[in-house]
Amino acid sequence: MNKQLQQIMIYLEEMETNMKISKRLSKKENLEELMRLTLINILNAKGVIYTYYKQQQERELNDNLRQSENIISKS
pLDDT (tens digit per residue) in 17-29: 877 776 766 677 7
Residue-level pLDDT at 11: 81
Residue-level pLDDT at 69: 80
Of 4-8, 15-19, 47-51, 68-72, the least confident = 47-51
Overall domain count for the chain: 1
* 25: containing domain: 2-74
More confident residue, 33 or 1: 33
> For residues 18 and 12, what is the distance between their CA atoms, to the nearest angstrom?
10
Q: Is 6 exposed, middle or buried (0-12, 13-18, 19+ CB in 10 A)?
A: exposed
> For residues 41 and 47, what is the distance between their CA atoms, to the nearest angstrom?
10
Residue-wise pLDDT tens digits, 39-65 = 878 877 666 666 677 788 889 889 888
> For residues 47 and 21, what is the distance between their CA atoms, to the nearest angstrom?
24
> For residues 21 and 55, what is the distance between their CA atoms, to the nearest angstrom?
16
